[in-house]
Amino acid sequence: MRKGIALGLALLLGLACCFGAAAETTQKAPDFVLEGLDGGSSNHNWETNLFFARMQERTGISFQFRQYTEDSQWAERKKALLAGEDLPDVLFKAGLTASETRDLYAAGVLLDLRPYLEAQAPDLWALLQAHPDWMDAITLPDGAIPALPGLNELANANLMWINTEWLGRLKLEKPTTAEELTEVLRRFKAEDPNRNGRADEIPLGFSSMWDLRFLAHAFGILDNDYYLSVRDGQVMSSLTSEGNRQFLTWLHQLWTEGLLDQNGFTTNDSLRQITDEKQAVPYGVLLTPNPLLLMPAASIGQYETLLPLTFEGRQEYRDLLGCVVRGTFGITRACAEPEKLVAWVNTLYTEEGSRLAQSGLEGEDYFWNEDGYWEWNADLTTVANQILPESTIAEGGTAPGWTGAEFQLKYAEEDTRRSIEMLHEYRQYLRLPYPMVTLSVEDEARAAELQAGLMSYAEPAMAAFVTGDTELNDESWDAFVREVEERHLQEQIDLWQKYIRP
């Protein structure tokens, strides 16, 4: 069961797409050189992967492959690409950061693909036109688009998951405010909801101050990792606000009552992961992208997403990554026919292409059952060891393409489908605190310097307020505000304000 759910969730979060039917190997020389990173747990081999064979039959385009499987090797190779060394025609699963894309374009290595998109990539162009924020995210300040994205319309955030089995046993409703959540956590702690006769429940599990800050939405705070958000075109920070003080005061209350994991500041996901399916579930509420990262599959059915808590009539939650993964595909100056490769990659932004990339070929790798759901055409071991590595390009890095919700919501395995449904529902509440932009070289360096100075102080200082190591009173709060201001918070705000369009 666990493997089935894990495969399904890997599927729904995958961003690769493709289309076509199986092809026999041709004898002609490859048309283009394709290079990129595909490693980790994917076990893909581009030379034999059916995705490329099926794409070749559809488009007539073939590749000579240069596949990297180690992150460190690819990082070194990207430095060589910047120097213009032995350029391929195309970068695929490129894993380019915004700054790497900017620098490769400035060096003349990457081409501007914007002139080709409307004519050669109509499906991608339609998606970008329908979502101007997606277009903005991949566009440099001068209007160029040197790299194409992976697009995912499902929620991809550090969400709140609540144990509904515990709620049912205690006859509780899902909380909708910070006050209601506090009461639910108190009941979780006091009334042995896992029914093992021991006071071992952890009402709310977390693994850092970064984790806890996702709860700040209950006080109207949606700051990003730079402690910034945008409202009505104005960049602001809640770090020194009264709202943040109230939030930290609330967290201290939860900590003092034992409602927060008392090991939360000293552990990580690998240490708190539970692998024994017979062990009593200890967590009431979890902050995690998905409970499967921490819990056995046998326990996953106990958890549902807890929708954002209400603050002043609003339900908003911090979107961690948004729908756009930048830098997945680029064409270099070595390519003599970029229009052909743009047309080739456009296939990955279609519904049919998305299906084949993540699930293989309909009728061969998966099928539609009589209830209208799709399921694998093999046992889960075969799926993991054969279909995913040999017939798909999901996992092992983000590929260019589009992942919509419709196909994922038709997955046959019930627990996975239920998780997908909850992630899909959550999307309407997610908001990126700050839009995706590309900074200049100078501003990027200064922003990183300012952020390092702020975070090195603010995160441990806030954690100390939560645990009570520092009493949160007027004197200590004023000292916190002064220190944050002295670490150039206003300069940080002003720097990022320059990139907000009027």
**What are the boundaries of each domain within the chain?**
2-154+322-412, 159-318
- Cβ(289)–Cβ(111) under 8 Å? no
Measured CA to CA, the distance from residue 178 to residue 200 in angstroms comes to 23
pLDDT along the chain (502 residues), means of 10: 43 37 55 93 91 92 96 96 97 97 98 98 97 96 96 88 96 98 98 92 94 97 96 96 98 98 84 70 89 75 94 95 95 98 96 88 95 94 92 91 91 87 92 95 96 97 98 98 98 97 82
Q: What are phi and psi of 36, to 5 degrees?
A: 175, -170
Measured CA to CA, the distance from residue 208 to residue 463 in angstroms comes to 8
Measured CA to CA, the distance from residue 287 to residue 267 in angstroms comes to 14
Measured CA to CA, the distance from residue 345 to residue 9 in angstroms comes to 24
Q: What is the pLDDT of residue 271?
A: 63
Q: How buried is 92 (Cβ within 10 angstroms: 0-12 exposed, 13-18 middle, 19+ buried)?
A: buried
Q: Do the first three CATH levels of 2-154+322-412 and 159-318 match, i.e. the same topology?
A: yes
474-484 burial, b if ≥16 CB within 10 A, otherwise e? Answer: eeebeebbeeb
Q: What is the pLDDT of residue 7?
A: 45
Measured CA to CA, the distance from residue 154 to residue 150 in angstroms comes to 12
Q: Sign of torsion, CA 168 155 78 358?
A: positive
The torsion region of residue 313 among left (phi > 0), alpha (psi -120 to 50) and beta comes to left
Enter the tokens of residue 277. Answer: 């399916």
Enter the tokens of residue 461. Answer: 């200082």
* Domain spanning 2-154+322-412, CATH class: alpha beta
Enter the tokens of residue 113. Answer: 């693909």
Strand pairing report for 32-37 and 283-288: unpaired
- Give counts: helices (H), strands (E), the chain: 20, 16
- Cβ(363)–Cβ(357) under 8 Å? no
- Cβ(425)–Cβ(372) under 8 Å? no
- Cβ(144)–Cβ(112) under 8 Å? yes
Which helix (H) or strand (E) segment is 420 a member of?
helix 414-426
5-33 burial, b if ≥16 CB within 10 A, otherwise e? Answer: bbbbbbbbbbbbbbbbeebeeeeeeebbb
**Superfamily grouping for domain 159-318:** Periplasmic binding protein-like II (3.40.190.10)
- Cβ(480)–Cβ(461) under 8 Å? yes
